[in-house]
Structure 1
Amino acid sequence: MSKPRKPKGRPVSGWLILDKPIDFGSTEAVSKIKWLFNAQKCGHAGTLDPLASGMLPIALGDATKTVPYVMDGRKIYEFAVTWGEERSTDDLEGAVTASSDSRPSEEQIRALLPNYTGTINQIPPQFSAIKIAGERAYDLARDGEIVEIPSREVQIFRLTLLGVTPDKAHFEVECGKGTYVRALARDFGRDLGCYGHISELRRTFVAPFAEDRMVPLSELVALEQIEDRDERLAALDAFMINTSEALSSLPHLPVTDDQAHRIKMGNPIILRGRDAPADEAEAYATVRGKLLAIGEIGQGEFRPKRVFG
């Protein structure tokens, strides 16, 4: 009987909040971080297009189990819409599909914004990761197919006009999961009768991670010059954030060593005292400040659903 294959790399765990550069894909960024950190597992929490820069939260090791909690978080983007052309990809990469000599005034743009605030219906771009009959829309689009993508509800919490020039307008948007900023640019242009596409896009926030946690890729790559392997990896690890920070929206339950032992075995623990937390569909437990488990609280117990090593 063959022995199980030992995973390659280090069992390092935590979050790295990468400042992704332009012309660098999200999958490419994850591969680079996995290689730099010599990590066993790595994944990201929300794709950024190659032409977009900014925050790309990357989970290493056990932190990959918390990716859904970051994917569901609010996001903030700064973006520019260039007027006069609609493009097949709704950004600079695509071919021009419609054009206009018309240009909107600042007053016209401001009057449009309330229509795009709150819960809105949005049709994702043709070049998107939406699945149509089991295939990605961007694969169908690359083959020249025009597909009908159904509209869906997305949340726009805040939409601000930052500045205008004759051919361009700059915005900031705070939005919920599944919002395509490229689709906003496309729809702005259609509503204003001038067409438009994204020409600049930067993500500055993915809840719960603030902008000041971002680390430029160039700063990480520069550490390759450190010849001593242990010293180099220690310098890289210093940029990581504790896995539990991804769960800051959930109730927190610190537990004792004895309770932690029971949880590690997959068993519930009894919560006593008047300060015991009320019923919660999801909460996370820590022991000595380290993430231990995600579970539910009910009937005076914490019942683990997912235990961390």
Structure 2
Amino acid sequence: MARKRRGTPIHGWLNIDKAAGVTSAHVVARVKRITNAEKVGHAGTLDPFATGVLPIALGEATKTVGYIVDDMKEYRFTVRWGEARNTDDIEGEIEATSDHRPSREDILAALHHFTGTIRQRPPAYSAILIRGERAYKLAREGIDVTMPERDVHIAALQLVGIPDRDHAIFDVTCGKGTYIRALGRDLALRLGTVAHLSALRRLRVGPFCANDAISLDKLAKLWQCPAEFQDLLPLTTALDDIPALAVTEPQAVRLRHGNDVAIPDQADGIVCVMDGNTPLGLAKMEAGRLYPVRIFNI
């Protein structure tokens, strides 16, 4: 007999503005305490020192997390020239220093080397699995970790400002798997110096934007009247780019039981199946038949 899940069945998304100094897991735990939701998850980890958009999925929305993780992301980050740190951010220990400070002209001339599909070596202090262990765990134990390079896509990278000779601020739009800490590190090396990130803020993840995000404290205050809460986004928020397909009641029953149904004259691909105004689940259209992939238990 399956154990009954504790909490309230709540289905949808929250756009949380993560504060500095807390982990993404801490945000998930706090949201769970505030909302008492049965199931809570996040889409795309943010480093503890970073701030900004952290999409939080509640209930059946957790089944759509993968679609947000794959979306393009936007960040604003500040590079501190002249200090390399073992974590590539402000929380690490200084490993090397340099007196060289790049000029605005040199920075602008280097940016094109870091757009498009590029090779990137992730930081040793990351959650990537190395021989079955998290890389950051091995690094903290003093084990020399060789991180394999991989392809990442950077759609845009621009210089926002130079507040002083030691710092420069950038905006970047990038795809899945890009480490902004590694980008700052590699940009500095290209410019003949060393650096780390002193600030990092995520401005957007797919449809979730920083301008619309709310803090955990605001969530706690607003959730005192859940019936009047206006910031819970629909489960389908993560599926904006996926076509919706309405089905009949008999077809909906078959799909819910894991059976395929005939849908003639429909293009192949993944669709969000709608039973009236209720999202039924994700399904794959292939050769005139619709096959259930993930059914939402709403």
TM-score tier by shorter-chain length is over 0.9
For the residue of structure 2 that corresponds to 1:258, the secondary structure is helix
Q: Deviations over 1:117-168 (max 9, x none)?
A: 0000000001000111000000011111121111000000000110113111
Distance (whole Å) between structure 1 residues aligned to residue 75 and residue 40 of structure 2: 24
Q: Deviations over 1:28-56 (max 9, x none)?
A: 00000011110111110110011110000
Q: Deviations over 1:239-281 (max 9, x none)?
A: 2111112111222212233322221122222224xxx42111x
Q: Report what 1:11 is aligned to.
A: 9
Distance (whole Å) between structure 1 residues aligned to residue 166 and residue 289 of structure 2: 60
Alignment CA distance shift 1:210-1:254 (3 Å): farther
Alpha-carbon distance, 1:190 to partner: 1.3
Q: Report what 1:219 is aligned to.
A: 218
For the residue of structure 2 that corresponds to 1:293, the secondary structure is strand
Alpha-carbon distance, 1:81 to partner: 0.3
Distance (whole Å) between structure 2 residues aligned to residue 160 and residue 289 of structure 1: 42
Q: How does 1:53-132 map to 2 (within 5 A)?
A: 53-132=51-130
One-letter code aligned to 1:193: G
Alignment CA distance shift 1:4-1:267 (3 Å): closer
Q: Deviations over 1:74-108 (max 9, x none)?
A: 10000110101000110110000000111000000
- Percent identical pairs in the alignment equals 46
Q: Report what 1:32 is aligned to.
A: 30
Q: Report what 1:263 is aligned to.
A: 255
Given the alignment, which residue of 41, 44, 60 partners 1:43? 41
Given the alignment, which residue of 20, 41, 53 partners 1:22? 20
1:277 matched to 2:266: yes
Distance (whole Å) between structure 2 residues aligned to residue 233 and residue 173 of structure 1: 36
Gaps of 5+ in 1: 227-231
Distance (whole Å) between structure 2 residues aligned to residue 127 and residue 163 of structure 1: 28
Contact 1:19 1:215 in 2 (8 A): yes
Q: Report what 2:207 is aligned to.
A: 208
Distance (whole Å) between structure 2 residues aligned to residue 26 and residue 293 of structure 1: 27
One-letter code aligned to 2:190: D
Alpha-carbon distance, 1:295 to partner: 1.2
Alignment CA distance shift 1:261-1:4 (3 Å): closer
Alpha-carbon distance, 1:221 to partner: 2.3
Distance (whole Å) between structure 1 residues aligned to residue 143 and residue 277 of structure 2: 52
Distance (whole Å) between structure 2 residues aligned to residue 12 and residue 222 of structure 1: 18
Distance (whole Å) between structure 2 residues aligned to residue 290 and residue 210 of structure 1: 25
Alpha-carbon distance, 1:211 to partner: 3.5
For the residue of structure 1 that corresponds to 2:144, the secondary structure is coil
Question: Which has the larger displacement, 112-121 or 297-306?
Answer: 297-306
Alpha-carbon distance, 1:233 to partner: 2.8
Contact 2:18 2:53 in 1 (8 A): yes
Q: Report what 2:183 is aligned to.
A: 184
Distance (whole Å) between structure 2 residues aligned to residue 90 and residue 248 of structure 1: 35
Q: Report what 1:293 is aligned to.
A: 281
State the Cα RMSD in Å: 1.4
Distance (whole Å) between structure 2 residues aligned to residue 267 and residue 5 of structure 1: 26
For the residue of structure 2 that corresponds to 1:215, the secondary structure is coil
Alpha-carbon distance, 1:222 to partner: 2.4
Question: Which has the larger displacement, 256-265 or 187-196?
Answer: 256-265
Q: Deviations over 1:284-304 (max 9, x none)?
A: 111222211111112212111
Alpha-carbon distance, 1:5 to partner: 2.5
For the residue of structure 1 that corresponds to 2:13, the secondary structure is strand
Contact 1:244 1:290 in 2 (8 A): no
Contact 2:17 2:210 in 1 (8 A): no
One-letter code aligned to 2:111: L
Alpha-carbon distance, 1:22 to partner: 1.0
Aligned residues: 296
Q: TM-score scaled to structure 2, two decimals?
A: 0.95
Contact 2:53 2:209 in 1 (8 A): no
Contact 1:83 1:197 in 2 (8 A): yes
Distance (whole Å) between structure 2 residues aligned to residue 222 and residue 242 of structure 1: 21
Contact 1:122 1:183 in 2 (8 A): yes
Q: TM-score scaled to structure 1, two decimals?
A: 0.92
For the residue of structure 2 that corresponds to 1:91, the secondary structure is coil
Distance (whole Å) between structure 2 residues aligned to residue 30 and residue 205 of structure 1: 19
One-letter code aligned to 2:295: V
Gaps of 5+ in 2: none
